[in-house]
Structure formats: C-alpha cells, structure tokens
Structure 1
Amino acid sequence: MRVITYGTYDLFHEGHRRLLERAKALGDYLIVGVTTENYDDARGKLNVQQSLMTRIKNVEDSGLADKIVIEEYEGQKVQDIQKHQVDVFAIGSDWLGRFDYLKDYCDVVYLERTKGVSSTQLRNEAGVIKLGVVGAGRIAHRFVQEARFVSGISVEAVHNRTHSTAEAFAAEHELSRAVEDYDELLASVDAVYVATPHDTHADFARRAMDAGVHVLCEKPMTLTRAETEELFALAQERGVVLMEAIKTAFAPGFQRMVALARSGAIGQVRSVDATFTKLVDEGRELQPPAGGSISELASYPLVAVVKLLGTEVVDVRTTSLQPEESPVEVYSKIDVTFTHGEATSRTGLGVKAEGDLVVAGSGGYLYVPAPWWKTEYFEARFEDSRDNKKYYYKFDGDGLRYELAEFAWLIRNETFESYKLRAAESVAIADVIERARTDARVLT
C-alpha cells in the first residue's frame, strides 16, 4: 500500500512527526509532499520561517519518508496520486472534507490531530508560539480555522465563561484542552487571543499582560480612550505585545491603498467616506450595554479614517437611529473633523447601505467597492479618465490570518508596535467610539 501526504513542515516538531507516523502506518511506503514558498503564498499560508531545502531536510531527518516530492501548484495532488500509483491519501483532520474529491483516485483518510504531544522544550526549540483563545463565539471559531494558515502558531487551549461551551469548542477544533480557570490558561501559553464581549476585553487583556503573556485583542479593544491608553501603557511596562485585531488594517490590499493615498498620488487627502452595514436580528450585537452598530462595526471605518487622515481629531458629531423597540442604536453616522480634512463613518445593524469607501484628494480620488474592509480591488480616478488605474490584491479566507501573522512576527522579533496599526491609532479609534456613543443626537 502506497500512502501520500502533504504539508509545509515549517519548524518541524513532534506534532509533525506523529502525523507522519500515523500516515506511514496506513501502508508500507510513504510519499511526503513538501510545499514550495510560492505555492504556500498562493494558498494563503503566511509566516513560513524556513527555506524549502531546510523543510525537506526536516522530513528526511525524521526517517519516515520513503520518497519526498515537491508540491508546486494547485491540482498537483491529482497528478501525483496517479503518477506514483498511490492507494491512500492522508491528511490532518483539520482539513476534513476538503480533499474528498480525491476519492475518485484513491482512499482518503483524515487523521485526527494528536493532542498535547509537543513538549514545552520542543516547542521552544522550534520557535512555535503557544496560543490560547479566550471566548468561544463566532469570531473565535473563524480565528482557529484561520490560524492553521499561519506557520509557527499552535492554538493550544480555550477558556470561556461557560465551561461546557469551551469543551465543545475544544472538541470541534481538536484543541488540547478547555481550561476552566483563566489563570491556568495564562500559565500554559505564550499569547492569548481575546474574543469575549467588548466590555470584558480590558480585564482579560490586563490579567494576561500582568502574567507576561502577549495579547491580540478583538476590536474594539475597549470602549473608552482612557482604558485603551492604560492597556498600552501596561504592555510597555510588562514588555509584551498588545495589538488590536482589526483585520482590515493588516490586509495587503488595504495597506497598499493607504500607501498610495498617503504617497500623494491623489494629492492631499481631504475626505474619507466609509460605510459598513449588515442586518442583524438577534445576538449580543443588539444587547446593552456594549451592543449597537458603533461598538460592533465602527472600528472598520475608523481604521480607514485614522490611517488616511491621522489621529489629531478636532471634533466628533454623531447622529444615531434607535427605534423605540430597540435597546441599542442600530444605525449611526459619525462625522469626524481634522484640521486638514473631514471624514464620515456610517455603520448599521438594522439599516443596509452600499458598503464602499471613497478617499477624496486634491488631485483625484480612490474608490474601494464593497466589501472594502476585505480590500481586494480599488481604483484611482482622476479628472482625466485616461489617467485612471485599477489595482488588484489577494485577500485570503476571512482575513484573520493577516492580523495573526503580524502578531506572531512582532513576538518573534521582540517588536512591540506594528506600523500597520499603531497604539496611537487604536487610542484615536477608541476616543471617537467613546465620544460617538456618549454624545449622539438620537433619532427614533
């Protein structure tokens, strides 16, 4: 029986070895495909640390591969299976169902992840960052799925205020454990991803940093300027990374759009108009005291505002819609004034509008169509339409991999701030959110 499996095998550790052992046990001849850098990039795998030759040697040194092939392109598995007369295709169960199409050519086996096999010493040697998830809601589920695309990250455990929910989460994502005590989680990981309700972020982040643990915190980091400033001051004091998880800020297309606008290509930026709405019927987004369209969505338009116009806000004026039957506002228009320009942010949970972004400059403008917060395409438009240009960029998956890759890079390089989203920018966003929520003209 000939068995084939594939992987990146970056920072080769005991988990990789166990998976290869289990694949080899399915037959008597194991073929291992190792992905190239270009193919990893094409399939959205980020932060690969080692060269292809080093990763091939990692597999060779395991002594488990009878043959090694190089995977270079989408669809190669079909050809490899036929070329090498493979009987069984084996892959980790986190890809469950993804490769069922190969059943036309051979048996397909999904190998359950072996939990808790990598010792602290091996992980330290390999440079793998052990990460705990705090919260077990929708965004946490998407985050764990995206984390498999970031090399050198191992999501180890989950903590949630309802422990049975954490246990179900851990089982679904094949994590080592669900941890009932938060301090116990902090003692076993290098970093945490905080994805709890907005008004609990600060406490979880503060406790983690006091324990010397790095923090990636979902947006909005807090709902006040003072608390956000306090958290960044604590991160500096403790020597840990604190980063706000506004995925748009770290997406390649958004970064290029900001760079183009700030380079003077459309003259001086004078206005930013950004809209993000979705229709929500139920859930924590509609529950006080932390719910509402501003707290839920305004971080996205405001990250565009501060990246393009800066952090020196002169004035904030807000109009919100809160129908009598609603406990929170369901639509808000926030007008932000700067000394050199202005911006408008529109957010809605009960109102639907075109979700585009327009950046107006003294020499032209940028247009980013919906969903602009997942920037894949934008246009530079000018008075003379012959000068117009179109730009295309990748946006893989749900985009959470980009923020996680940046977070991991900061930790490994002992760098405590990302230029893609600076502390001062997170503070400015919190400031506008606080002012918008507390001083709005409310319509019913």
Structure 2
Amino acid sequence: MRVITYGTFDLFHEGHVRLLERAKALGDHLIVAVTTENFDDARGKLNVRQSLMERIRNVERSGLADEVIIEEYEGQKVTDIQKYDVDIFAIGSDWLGRFDYLSDYCEVVYLERTKGVSSTQLRDETGILKLGVVGSGRIAHRLVAEARFVSGVSVEGVYSTTPSNARRFADTHELRVVGHSLPHLLEEVDAVYVAAPHGTHAAIATEAMEAGKHVLCEKPLTLTRKEADELYAVAAEHRVVLLEAIKTAFSPGFQRMVAVARSGSIGQVRSVDGTFTKLGETGREIQAPDGGSISELASYPLLAVVKLLGTGHIDQRTTSVWPDDSEVDTFSRIDLTYPHAVASARVGLGVKAEGDLVVAGTKGYIYVPAPWWKTEYFEARFEDQRDNKKYYYKFDGDGLRYEIAEFASLIRNETPESFKLRAAESAAIAGIIEEARRNAVVLR
C-alpha cells in the first residue's frame, strides 16, 4: 500500500514525527510532499522560518519517508495521487473534511492530532510557541482554526469558567490540556489568547503576565483607558508581549492603505469615516453590562482613525440608539475632532448600513468598500479620474492568522511593541470607547 501525506514541516518537532509514524503505519511505502515557499504563501501559511531545503532535510533525517517530493501548486494532490499510484491519502484531523474530494482517487484518512505530545517535547530550541486559549466562544474556535496556518504556533489547551464548555472545546480541537483553573493552563503554555468577556480582560491578562506569559487579547483590550495603561505597565515590568487582537491592523491590505494615505499621495487627510454594522447577533454581544455596538465593533473604525489621524483628538461626541427593549446600544455614531481633521465611526448590531471606509484628503481620497475591515481592495481616487489607482491584496481566512503571526514574531524577536498597533493606539481606542459608552446622547 502506497501512502502520501503533505505539509510544510517547518521547525520539525515531535508532533511531525508522530504524524509521519501514523501515516507510515497505514502502508508499506510513505511519500511525503513538502510545500514550497510560494505555495505556502498562496494558501495563506504565515511565518515559515526554514527554507524548503532545510525542511526537506528534516523530513529525510526522520527516517520515516521512503520518498520526498515537493508540492508547488493548488490541485497538485490530484496529479500526485495518480502519478505515484497512491492508495491512501493521509492528513492531520484538523483538516477533517477538507480533502474528501480526493476519495474519488484513493482512500482518505484523517489522522488524529497528537494530543500526547507534552509541552517539554515541543522543545524550546524548535521555536514552537505553546499557546493556551482562555474562553470557548465563537471567536476562540476561529482562533484555533486559524493558528494552523501560522508556522511555529501550537495551540495546547483551553480554560473556561464553565468546565463542560472547556472539555467540549478541547475535544473538538483535540487539545492536550483542559485547564481546571487559569494557573493550571498557565503552567502548560508560553502565552495565552484571551477571548473571555470584555470586562474580564484586565484581570486575566494581568494574572497571565505576572506569571511571565505573553498575552494576545481580543478587542477591546479593556473598556477603560486606565485599565489599558495599567496592562501595558505590567507587560513592561515583566518583559512580556501584550498585543490587542484587532485583526485588521495586521492584514496586508489595511497596512498598505494606511501607508498610501499617510504618504501624501491624497494630500493632507481631513476626514476619516468608517462603518461596521451586523445583524442577527445573539449572546453576550447584546447583553449588559459589556455588550453593545460600541464595545463589540467600535475598535475597528477607531483603529482606522488613530492610524490615520493619530491619538490627539480634541473633542468627542457620541450618539447612540438604545431601544427600550434592548439591554445595550444597537447603533452608535462616534464623532471625533482633531486640530485639522474630523472623523466618524458608525457601528451597529441592530441596524444595517454600507460598511465602507472613506479617507478624504486635500488632493484626493481613498475608498475601501465593504467589508473594509477585511481589506482586499481599495482605490485612490482623484479629481482627474485618469489618475485613479486600484490596489489588490490577499485577506486569507478569517484574518486571525495575521494577528497570531505578528504576536509570535514579536515574542521570537523579543520586540515588545508592534508598529502595526502600538500600545498608545490601543490605549487611545480604549479611552474613546470608555467615553462613548459613558457620555453618549441616547435616542430611544
């Protein structure tokens, strides 16, 4: 029986060995396909640190591969299976269902993730970042799925204040650790992703950082400016990375849009107007005390505002729609005044509007269509339309892989702060959100 499996095999570790052992046990000839840098980039794999030849040598040195080939393009698996007369296609169970179409050509086997690999086996010298998840809601599930696209990151465990939810989460993602407490999870990991209710972020992040763990915290980082400032002070004291998980900040298209706008090509920026609305939200997003359109969504347009106009606004006004039958605001508009510019952030959980971003300048403007927070395309537009320019960029998956990759890179390079989202910018966003929630003019 001829078996084939595929992977990047970056920072070759015990988990890779276990997977290849299981694949090899399915037959008597194992073919291992190692992906090229270009193909990894095309499929959204980030932070691959070793060259193709280094990764091939790692697989060969394991002694488990009877044959090593290179995967270079989408659709190659179909060709390889036929070319090499393959009987079984084997892949990790985190890809469950993704390759069912190959059953037309051979047997498809999903190999269970190696839960038995201990944190010490994922050795420090390999550079593997052992990540724990605090919380078990929708965004936490997405984070685990996206982490598989970031080389050098292994999600090891989960902690939730509801143990049954943590167990289901761990079973779903085949995680090694179910923390019976936050300290228990912290003992097993190098860093945590905080996806718990907004009001708990500060306490969880503080406990993790005081234990020497790096923290990637869902937006909003906190609901007050004071708490945000205190968190960054704790991060500096314990020399750990604290990064707010606003995925847009780290996506290639948004970064380029900011660079184009700040380059002077559209002149001096005079206004920034961003909108993000959603319908059909349920659960804690629409529940008091921490839910509502401002706390759930304002981080995104405010990110665009502070990246383009800075943190020095001189006035703020907020108007919120808060129906009598709602626990929270369902639509809000935050207006900011700067010395030479204005900005507005419109957000809603019960109202739908065009979710675009417009950056107006003295020579032209930038238009980013909905959903601008997943920037794949934008235009620089001018009075003379012949000068217009269009920009196209990839936005892979849910986009969470970009924040994970940045987080891992900061830790690996011992860099405390990312220029893509600075501490002062996160703290400013927290302050604007605090003011907006506290002093909004409320319409019933």
Q: TM-score, normalised by structure 2?
A: 0.99
Residue by residue over 1:148-175, the C-alpha shift from the partner in whole angstroms, topping out at 9 and shown as x without a partner, is 0000000000000000100000000010
RMSD of aligned alpha carbons? 0.7
For residues 193-237 of structure 1, what are the alpha-carbon distances to aligned partners after superposition, in whole Å with 9 as ceiling and x for unaligned? 000010000000000000000000000000000110000011001
Do residues 320 (structure 1) and 320 (structure 2) align? yes
- The SS at the match of 1:342 is strand
| Counterpart in the other structure of 2:199 | 199
Contact (CA 8 Å) 2:14, 2:121: kept in 1 or not?
no
Q: Is 1:343 aligned with 2:343?
A: yes
Q: Which runs of 5+ in 1 are unaligned?
A: none
Counterparts in 2 of 1:287 and 1:211: CA distance versus 1, 3 Å: same
Report how many aligned residue pairs link the two structures: 444
Deviation of the 1:7 alpha carbon:
0.4
Q: 1:286 matched to which residue of 2?
A: 286
Secondary structure of the residue aligned to 1:97 is coil
Is the 1:143–1:400 contact (alpha carbons within 8 Å) kept by the matching residues of 2?
A: yes
CA distance in 2, matches of 1:421, 1:249: 6
Distance 1:339 1:199 in 2: 33
- The CA distance in 2 between the partners of 1:90 and 1:121, in whole Å, is 23
Q: Deviations over 1:240-287 (max 9, x none)?
A: 000000000000000000000000010011100000000135310111
Distance 2:372 2:231 in 1: 29
Asked whether the equivalents of residues 119 and 189 of structure 2 are also in contact (C-alpha less than 8 Å), the reply is no
* Gap change, CA 1:359 and 1:83, over 3 Å in 2: same
- Alpha-carbon separation, structure 1, partners of 2:438 and 2:162: 31
Aligned amino acid, residue 36 of structure 2:
T
Residues 43-442 of structure 1: pairs in structure 2 closer than 5 A: 43-120=43-120, 122-442=122-442
Is the CA contact (8 Å cut-off) linking 2:119 and 2:188 kept in structure 1? no
CA offsets 1:304-326 (integer angstroms, 9 cap, x no match):
00000001121110000001111
Any idea what SS the aligned residue of 2:188 has? coil
In structure 2, the partner of 1:42 is 42
Where 1:187 maps in the other structure, the secondary structure is helix
Instruction: Return the TM-score normalized by structure 1.
Output: 0.99
- Contact 2:119–2:130 at 8 Å: present in 1 too? no
Structure 2, unaligned runs of 5 or more? none
Change (3 A) 1:101 1:22: same
Partner of 1:288, secondary structure, is coil
Further displaced range: 202-211 or 119-128: 119-128
- SS of the aligned residue for 2:313 comes to coil
* Native 8 Å contact 1:374 1:395 kept in 2: yes
**CA offset digits 1:365-390 (Å, max 9, x no partner):** 00000000000000000000000011
Whole-angstrom CA distance in 2 between matches of 1:369 and 1:399: 17
Per the TM alignment, residue 177 of structure 1 is displaced from its structure 2 partner at its CA by 2.0
Could you say what secondary structure the match of 2:360 adopts?
Answer: strand
Alpha-carbon distance, 1:122 to partner: 4.3
SS at match of 2:5: strand
- What letter matches 1:256 in structure 2? R
Asked if the contact 2:132–2:158 (Cα under 8 Å) also holds between the matched residues in 1, the reply is yes
Taking the aligned partners of 1:328 and 1:71, their CA distance within structure 2 comes to 51
User: How many Å apart are 1:327 and its aligned residue?
Assistant: 1.3
The CA deviation string for residues 29-73 of structure 1, in whole angstroms up to 9 with x for no partner, is: 000000000000000000001000000000000001010000000
In structure 2, the residue matched to 1:6 is 6
In structure 1, C-alpha distance between the alignment counterparts of 2:131 and 2:183, rounded to whole Å = 14
- Structure-2 separation of matches of 1:84 and 1:281: 49
Q: For residues 193 and 202 of structure 1, what CA distance do their matches in structure 2 show?
A: 13
Report the CA distance between 1:176 and its aligned residue. Answer: 0.4
Amino acid in the other structure paired with 1:154: S
Aligned 8 A contact 1:13 1:118 in 2: no
The DSSP-based 3-state class of the residue aligned with 1:120 is: coil
Task: Give the whole-Å Cα distance in 2 for the aligned partners of 1:68 and 1:340.
Answer: 61
In structure 2, relative to structure 1, the CA distance for the partners of 1:121 and 1:13 (3 Å cut) is: same
Q: Is the 8 A contact 1:130 1:189 kept in 2?
A: yes
Rounded to whole Å, the distance in 1 between the matches of 2:67 and 2:194 is: 42
The Cα shift of 1:114 comes to 1.6
Q: State the alpha-carbon separation in 1 of the partners of residues 430 and 3 from structure 2.
A: 53
Contact 2:91 2:109 in 1 (8 A): yes
SS in 1 for 2:94: helix
**Cα distance in 1, alignment partners of residues 79 and 407 from structure 2:** 37
Deviation at 1:187, TM superposition (A): 1.3
Q: Deviations over 1:372-416 (max 9, x none)?
A: 000000000000000001100000000000000000000000000
- Counterparts of 2:403 and 2:435, CA distance in 1: 27
Identity %: 75
* Cα shift at 1:119: 4.7
Distance 1:280 1:104 in 2: 39
Distance 1:122 1:354, change over 3 A: closer
